Chain A
Amino acid sequence: MSTNRHQALGLSDEEVLDMYRTMLLARKLDERMWLLNRAGKIPFVISGQGQEATQIGAAFALDREKDYVAPYYRDMGVVLAFGMTSRELMLSAFAKAEDPNSGGRQMPSHFGQKKNNIITGSSPVTTQVPHAVGFALAAKMEKKDFVSFVTLGEGSSNQGDFHEGLNFAGVHKLPVITLVENNKYAISVPYEKQIAAEKVSDRAIGYGMPGYTVDGTDPLEVYQVVKEARDRALAGEGPTLIEAISYRLTAHSSDDDDRVYRNREEVDEAKNKDGLYRFEAYLEECGVLTEDAKSNYIKEIDQIVNDATDYAENAPYAEPESALKYVYEE
């Protein structure tokens, strides 16, 4: 039996099982969306497969009642953990009126849901970094005990908004946690053609904040580093930059063919280190996840995904003229 690492982090068996279940749900929803796309039922998918461990580890280290998240487009795991439902995600995939992210206005995975503290996002990358810093500035000004949490890919960390936002947060010691989900590719361009520094986290020193690089396929490692960052932020010690290294198991999106720029051996090797199944193995080894429980989860999630798909497929689109609404306050 392997060492119980989660207890040492203060995580109960129930909590780690909840983490596992959420990771599995994110994976299964994502896989279903690809099937729906290939079947011609939804026009577009952009995936988080391979990054669930990073996303769930981080989200569970936050206060999901109080903290605000500014996710990027691969963060299905983060938004599930923050309360978005499977039906809601499918409504977005099908661009239906009831989609809480945008009512079918935006492409899927452009998350936003005020009641769950999920800040609305766009397609130009990294614009969300200054927004998260703005939420953290508000927390400091209003003396509120929440942090903001923002994610992005490693390629996006080249954008000016990354630099401008993190520098601002560093100068004013704001309670914001920036998580770079380094999945090693910005569409087709690998890390070494994007960033000259050895690690994304090396950049932290320039912004006057601590920087950490962790294994993004290990949810417990991510949990720990985010938890510590959150504690520092609430203690007034300012922001943290975290880089979690994982691998993008799918093509960039449903419109991309990754065979053009990376070989199958590399992808297969990454699949062998898939964080979801490694966490599953860990939970089995320490006796937290039984064979019965696992098959119950799989059955339950299969039902949830089917229900979400049916519900969203049958839901109505927005009325055409509703395209005119909500340009300004009404």
Chain B
Amino acid sequence: MPVMSYIQAVTSALKEEMQRDEKVFVLGEDVGKKGGVFRATDGLYDEFGEYRALDTPLAESAIAGVGIGAAMYGMRPVAEMQFADFIMPAVNQIISEAARIRYRSNNDWNCPITIRAPYGGGVHGALYHSQSVEAVFANQPGLKIVMPSTPYDAKGLLKAAIRDNDPVLFFEHKRAYRLLKGEVPEDDYVLPIGKADVKREGSDITIITYGLCVHFALQAAEKLAEEGIDAHILDLRTVYPLDQEAIIEAAKKTGKVLLITEDNKEGSIISEVAAIISEHCLFDLDAPIQRLAGPDVPAMPYAPTMEKYFMMNPDKVEKAMRELAEF
């Protein structure tokens, strides 16, 4: 099985889906000739031409809105927001429109659009090139939000997003793009949206997280294994709607739960995960639910000192895991 970086997995999913179905096309800023500022759409312009790898004007609401129109017609647009931070002008289109089209038309219309955006920090991106924006969209029934943690998941889930008949937000951690490599099958495969995935079996503590933090948790778990602490790691993969069954099962498995996000703490995805566990697992818990998250400041500062202070890393994760194990 070939080894691919996270971003190569994204590119190969796009390319294979465009080969499979002529209705699939990508649109966004710089996605055409340049192949994307991160090169996620590299080669698509040459292979599929100007319109299926469409350089749009610099206007995010139109990127989403034109994509939504094309999707309602029956195309399969994959819109790219250059950075998740810049999705904000498109929020009205995504929440008022894409998320509600099936519901408001009583199932007459639907909107099979995928909106990809690189999110996350640790790349000297400061306030507006580092944010995690998933919580903004995570109380909007009608949307699905996918945040893969590995190249394998990225490819299989992006294909699923493109084939999904409802709108999917697909957030890719920009630091994972070249940091993470892994085995990715060459043949076609699709992973289920809405299903969490156990990334490490363990019996002492349960970690529930998503995105790049899964990688940090896995690294920390290997170190703690040497000390005899056996961590169970659940990767949410889809952060909205949540896989409640998998969350409950993972929490009950060890009775000690640590939830991790790179996002600000209050009102984050893991706040909802904590609520699910409180509702369903109170008598199975042996420790208070722990949340490890970014501080409640607007976004990640630029200076390396402050960025490091904000950003999640394997050391912070390891420390929180050890404390919970010792509780």
Contact = CB atoms under 8 A, between A and B. Distances in A.
Interface of A: 68, 70, 99-103, 105-106, 110, 112-114, 119-120, 122-124, 127, 129-138, 140-142, 148, 160-161, 163-165, 167-168, 171, 325-330
B285 interface: no
Contacts of A135: 69-70, 72-73
A127 B92 contact: yes
Contacts of A168: 56-57, 59, 62, 66
Nearest to B105: A120
Contacts of B62: 130, 133, 161, 164-165, 167-168
Contacts, number: 140
A164 B108 contact: no
B166 A103 contact: no
A122 B104 contact: yes
A204 B57 CA distance: 17
B106 A102 contact: yes
A130 B61 contact: yes
Nearest to B89: A160
Interface string B66-101: 111111111101000000000001001100110011
A100 B108 contact: yes
21 contacts: A100-B108, A112-B105, A119-B72, A122-B96, A122-B100, A127-B92, A130-B93, A131-B69, A134-B65, A134-B72, A137-B70, A141-B75, A142-B75, A163-B59, A164-B61, A165-B66, A167-B57, A167-B62, A327-B102, A327-B142, A328-B144
Contact of A137 (B69, B108, B144): B69
Interface residues of B, number: 43
A140 B96 contact: no
B107 interface: yes
A167 B107 contact: no
B109 interface: yes
A119 B106 CA distance: 13
B66 A137 contact: yes
Residue of B62, B71, B77, B110 most packed against chain A (CB within 10 A): B62
Given A114-B109, A127-B92, A134-B72, A106 B104 contact: yes
B97 A131 contact: yes
A135 to B, nearest CB: 5
B104 A120 contact: yes
Contacts of B57: 164, 167-168, 171
Contacts of B61: 130, 160-161, 164
B105 A68 contact: no
